[in-house]
Structures are given as C-alpha cells and as structure tokens.
Chain A
C-alpha cells in the first residue's frame, strides 16, 4: 500500500498569509496526486489534480507542485473562506488519502 503523509497536521494563519502544506508518498506516484478542501459538515471539494492542474472554478491563489514522492499545496493571500481542512490523495496504486491538514485562523 502507498502511504500518504501530510505535514503539518494543523497550522494557524491570518487572512492575507501564504501557507504551504506538504504531502509525501511512501513510493513514487509520478504526478498522480490530487488535493481537496473540506469544510465542516460538507463533502470534500476538488482543488488540484495531477499535482498541479487547477480544477475549473478554483481560485488561482491555490497552487500545486511536485512529482515523485514530494508534493506541496500553496495558498497565497489566504482568504476567510480558505480556513478548512486539506487532503492530498494518490491514484497511482489504488487510492489513498493523507491524514489531512487543518488550516485555522
């Protein structure tokens, strides 16, 4: 099984900040890496697919990068609506999610 490890598990930030979330795979997954945002009581929302492709309708302040085993999600100019939990997910072999990163005010 491919394990996905996110760091940090949580972080505190302010409106306007730039935040970076890291996701590491236990083996190479090429660029088969997706990012989701989830708010309390809601279904996850796709942000980034294929490591760096922005899903339609997602603001350009969200940026994904990486390949192989190391990936990052960067949110620039953090907005109030961005405070949520973020998950990475691989689709190289089966599907596995990271444990999540909670972005708090």
Chain B
C-alpha cells in the first residue's frame, strides 16, 4: 500500500524559511513524478511544484524563485524548501504522486497534509 506522510509544517514569520518533508512507503520517490499541492484555509487547490523521475523541476509563477522541490533517494523522501514566505503562502501542503500516461499526468496518491501558517 502506498503511503505519503508530510511533516515540517508550523508557524513561521513572514520572510522566514521552512522545509517540508514527505516520507514515502510503497513507492520509490526517485522513480515517480512527485508533486506538492497546497490549499489555503477555506480555498481551492493550487499546484506548487513537481519533480520528474529524471530530476527536472517545475513551478508556477507564484512560487518560482522562492520554493525548491527536491528528494533524498536514500531516505525515499520528498522535500519542499520554502524561502521568503508570505502570508499568502499560509495553507495545508499536500504531497502527491503523479502518474504519467501518454503525456498526461494525474495525482493518484496524496498525503494527509501539513499546515504552514505564515504570520507575525
């Protein structure tokens, strides 16, 4: 059974940095496309980043230059490094696996999420 478990959320001041972790079991992080998706309180879902099995990474403009997705193959863990945090980054952050089929992908497995609150 595939399981994803996020940790690392908490309260952080504006301008601060935080690293989220997503420990995987039942799948190999380095062999999959892995992503982060966030959800601000009471709002919809927003895609935040993705790392391909080959190592390429992609971000939306809203976080590009501030967030970095990475992985540790030896720990089978996905990370999201967040810098220059803003109040609008406050959200539950989910990690998810993206299954790729003929050029399209979809998120089939999700963690339970970790809450990041950016506030002074």
Contact = CB atoms under 8 A, between A and B. Distances in A.
Interface of A: 1, 30-32, 34, 36, 38, 43-46, 49-50, 55, 87, 89, 91-92, 94-100
Interface of B: 35, 37, 44-47, 50, 58, 60-61, 94, 98-99, 101, 103-108, 110-113
B47 A34 contact: no
A100 B46 CA distance: 11
A43 B35 CA distance: 14
Contacts of A89: 45, 47, 106-107
Contacts of B50: 95
A41 to B, nearest CB: 9
Given A50-B101, A89-B45, A95-B50, A43 B106 contact: no
